[in-house]
Amino acid sequence: MKFIRIKAVARKETLQIWRDPLSLALAFVMPVLLLVIFGYAITLDVNNLTTIVYDADRSSTSRALIEEFTASGYFTVVRYADSQREIDRYLDRGLARVAVSIPRDFAKHAGRGNTAPLQVIVDGSDSNTAAIAIGYLSALTEIAGRRIAGRSSLLRVDPRIRVWYNPELKSRNFIIPGLIAVIMMVIAALLTSLTFAREWERGTMEQLISTPVKTVELILGKMAPYFFIGFIDMILTVLMAVFVFDIPFRGSLFMLAVLSCVFLFGVLGLGMLISIVAKSQLVASQMAMVATFLPAFLFSGFMFAIMNMPVPLQVISRIVPARYFIVILKGIFLKGNPFSILAWDALFLVIYGALVFAIANRKFRKKIV
């Protein structure tokens, strides 16, 4: 294997990329655009839940309870209802997600130390939001009840809770690192999936085959410019994560760069393998999307917990490189983990990259079929 041949192939591929503005746009604009769109669109935080309140008691105690709800920031009162029927109308039309109905004699029961009844209705059409809202409501009613009544339980409990790695419990802090892995897997494989297919469609593959360039040199040469582009994209997305989305970065920048290179090598090799097998740019791009986006989005742990999946799907997730890169990104960004903790995930990426490259090298034959 001679470096001068790899360099010549890389130079040829770079010229092709430079002459194709669509490829350049796909390479540099798409990762940034996708990170902005998905970064702001995907969130698991639930704030400003639209709430309708029916206060039949109209006492200072009931008003204090409502103030506790609105002051929390989780609930936004959009209507003070005049009747119970008005609650039904707002929930049916989706104008409110939560309804709070305070019955008569609420203050009387609370003042006597009895259990004060309170009806809360939550729109369960969105089960995730409803479950979070119920958790907020349970905590707030307990806290508000103690403040209003000026009492505490007989068993005084003073919990000292500390949340590590993401103390503000912002979903964006763990979504953005996972999103970087998903985007980079899709873009990198999509770019290289067109390389060999483009040569076959343009009729220039015969010229490459007739040269003394070996298969390994040809694949490495074609991969080199896309590796450089992918690394720049990785830098851009990491900078956006830190300075645009304000994601904490507590780990080693050098370790992130090295492990990102390992991940890119494997994903670019996957794109090369798809391009070699497909021999058509349209088919190759479609195969790349199916082979990268769906597994990276569904089976990587980015959005759905792998431990909650059926066992067969958990097995499938083990061959998705984004799963291991997400663990690496979250470990470096949020926890500042050393390499010893991330070694097994890094080892899988090394094995994956070597295996995919070996299969691509075996599949390509320097002959006209």
pLDDT of 120-172, one tens digit each?
Answer: 888 887 677 777 788 777 777 766 666 665 544 434 444 455 667 777 777 88
Is residue 326 over pLDDT 70? yes
**237 has a pLDDT exceeding 90:** yes
- Tell me which of 33 and 202 has the higher pLDDT: 33
Buried b (16+ CB within 10 A) or exposed e, 213-226: bebbbbbbbbbbbb
Q: Taking Cα atoms as reference points, which of 241, 219, 258, 155 lies closest to residue 366?
A: 219
Which pLDDT belongs to residue 1? Answer: 62
Nearest to 31 by CA among 234, 178, 223, 225: 234
> What is the rounded average pLDDT for all residues in the chain?
84
Please identify which residue in the block is written with the tokens 């645009």. 244
Tokens matching residue 31: 């990762």
289 vs 355, residue with greater confidence: 355
Say what the pLDDT of residue 278 is: 85
Range among 199-208, 253-262, 271-280, 282-291 with highest mean pLDDT value: 253-262
C-beta contacts of 41-48 below 8 A and 24+ residues apart: 42/175, 42/179, 42/303, 43/171, 43/172, 43/175, 44/128, 44/171, 44/175, 45/170, 45/171, 45/172, 46/74, 46/129, 46/132, 46/133, 46/136, 47/73, 47/74, 48/73, 48/74, 48/75, 48/76
pLDDT for the residue numbered 158: 43
The SS3 of residue 284 is helix
| Residue 110 banded pLDDT, cuts 50, 70, 90 | low
Could you tell me where the beta strands, DSSP code E, fall in the chain? 49-55, 75-80, 98-102, 119-122
Residues 307, 235: Cα–Cα separation, whole Å: 31
What are the pLDDT digits (tens) for 92-105?
A: 888 888 888 888 87
Which range has the worst mean pLDDT, 3-12, 59-68, 126-135, 220-229? Answer: 126-135
Which domains are delineated in the chain? Answer: 3-42+170-363 (no CATH), 49-149 (3.40.1710.10)
